[in-house]
A = this chain, B = another copy of it.
Amino acid sequence: MTELFSVNQLAEALGVTPRAIRFYEVKGLIQPRRAGTTRVFDRRDRARLLLVLRGKRLGFSLAEIREFLDLYDTDRTQVSQATMLLGRVRTRIEELEQQRRDLDQTLAELRAVEREAQGALRQRGALPETTTKNAAD
Which A residues lie at the B interface, using CB under 8 A? 54-55, 57-60, 71-72, 76-77, 79, 82-94, 96-100, 102-107, 110-111, 113-114, 116-118, 120-121, 124, 126, 128-129, 132, 134-136
Contact = CB atoms under 8 A, between A and B. Distances in A.
A61 to B, nearest CB: 9
A105 B97 CA distance: 12
Contacts of A89: 110, 113-114, 117
Chain A interface helix/strand/loop/mixed: helix
A94 B58 CA distance: 14
Contact of A132 (B58, B71, B90): B90
A97 B100 CA distance: 11
Give the 8 A-B CB pairs with smallest separation, nearest first. A59-B59, A87-B136, A76-B120, A86-B117, A82-B120, A85-B117, A89-B114, A82-B117
